[in-house]
Chain A
Amino acid sequence: MASVPADHRACLPEGVRPKFRLPVLRLVCEGSIGLVLIRPQPEHFRPPSIAPFVAIVEDRLVSRGPDAFDLPALRVVTRRAQGIMVLTRRPTIRDYALMASVISAGVTVMMIETGHVHGQDWRDFVHATAPTASIIVR
């Protein structure tokens, strides 16, 4: 399925953008999946119209929890995710490689990059919003 990265900065190298995302970004750049980068408000985002897609939630560098985001749009995206990984430690390339293999099976996934402070908030949010999704907590 053709798609264009929602944000070209996601494909920049380590230091500008973390290279642990590469396994997933490769799939995005190959045009096989969609990408939505989700940042805290005041940024708004639109849920992608195509599937499968990967949603990457950026709540790591300055962690503020789900309430800092555009919640209505976030809930829509979260409900569409069949596989969700909540990363409360620094993400690794293995985390993204695992989810890349999941996406390759046609599954829409969400990667929530956060910290310990709001890890439980995100778990609660995910369990409440997408109770039927497969969840990996790290």
Chain B
Amino acid sequence: MNLFFPTPAMVSVFAGGLGNHMRPLLALAAHRKCLLALQDQERAPFTVPSARPWVVIIGDDPADPETSLGPQGFHTGSLAALMRAATDVTIIACEIIPELYERQAVLAAEGVSGVIIETRPQHADAWMAFVAIVAPGKMRMAALLGSKSGAA
């Protein structure tokens, strides 16, 4: 899990590397209003951030669509613990929708810890089923192929 501690002066630089949609979350992290973390595919266990509020981005959308693995690409127990500890889970299985990152930043500013799952369309169902099982009711938003976004 990559924990980000940017400085305000470096928000634009990191937004250049991670994508401009990350700017609101980076800005929040830069002012220590939330802890920002990115978890790439990795089957090793990881821990839920200890400082709240936090926003964790689950990166299941590598550059090559074939290497998107769904929940199986991650350590199941750690994922389940993360979802249970979150208040809000968003699944994005289509193109980047900046408004969903802004929404998470607004929630985090209010003290809400959340997860954004970035995945590919073929794994959207698997992610929704996983969240429904381990953290019922936590999935608030799902952006799927062909839809802009919608409340779950």
Please determine whether A136 and B2 come into contact, CB atoms closer than 8 angstroms: yes
> B1, B30, B40, B44: which contacts A94 (Cβ < 8 A)?
B40
Contact B3 A138 (CB under 8 A): yes
B residues 6-33 near A (Cβ < 8 Å) are 6-7, 9-10, 12-14, 16-18, 30
Contact B13 A83 (CB under 8 A): yes
Q: Which residues of B contact A98 (CB under 8 A)?
A: 14, 17-18
Give chain B residues whose Cβ lies under 8 Å from the Cβ of A107. Answer: 10, 13
Give chain A nearest CB distance to B78 CB in angstroms: 13
Question: Which one of B14, B16, B40 contacts A134 once the chains associate, using CB atoms below 8 Å?
Answer: B14
Complex Cα distance A95/B1, Å?
11
Query: Chain A 77-101 against B: per-residue CB contact (8 Å), 1 yes, 0 no?
Result: 0000011000001001011011101
User: Given that A83-B10, A92-B40, A107-B10 are contacting pairs, would A137 and B5 also be in contact in the complex, using a CB cutoff of 8 Å?
Assistant: yes
Q: Give chain A residues whose Cβ lies under 8 Å from the Cβ of B12.
A: 105
Flag if A136 contacts B4 (CB, 8 Å): yes
| Those of A104-138 within 8 Å (CB) of chain B | 104-105, 107, 132-138
> How far, in whole Å, are A97 and B78 apart by their CA atoms in the complex?
26
The answer to the question of A102 belonging to the interface, with a C-beta cut-off of 8 Å to chain B, is yes
What chain A residues lie within 8 Å of B4 (beta carbons)? 134, 136
Provide the bound-state CA to CA distance between A92 and B1, in Å: 12
- Minimum CB distance partner of B59 in chain A: A94
Query: How many angstroms from the CA of A92 to the CA of B2 in the assembled complex?
Result: 12
Contact A136 B10 (CB under 8 A): no
Distance to closest chain A CB from B5 (angstroms): 4
Instruction: Tell me whether A102 and B14 are in contact (CB under 8 A).
Output: yes
B14 contacts which chain A residues (CB < 8 A)? 98, 102, 134
Contact present for B7 and A105 (CB under 8 Å): no
Rounded to whole angstroms, the CA-CA distance of A94 and B19 in the bound complex is 14
The chain B residue with its CB closest to the CB of A106 is B13
Contact with A along B110-121 (1 / 0, CB 8 A): 000000000000
Instruction: Report Cα–Cα, A89/B38, bound state, in Å.
Output: 14
In the complex, which residues of chain A have a beta carbon less than 8 angstroms from the beta carbon of B44? Answer: 89
Binary contact track B33-61/A, C-beta < 8 Å → 1, others 0: 00000001010100000000000000000
Chain B residues with a Cβ under 8 A of chain A: 1-7, 9-10, 12-14, 16-18, 30, 40, 42, 44
A95-B2, A98-B18, A135-B5 known; 16 other A-B pairs, CB under 8 Å?
Answer: A82-B10, A92-B40, A99-B17, A101-B16, A102-B14, A105-B12, A105-B13, A107-B10, A134-B5, A134-B10, A136-B3, A136-B5, A137-B2, A137-B3, A138-B2, A138-B3
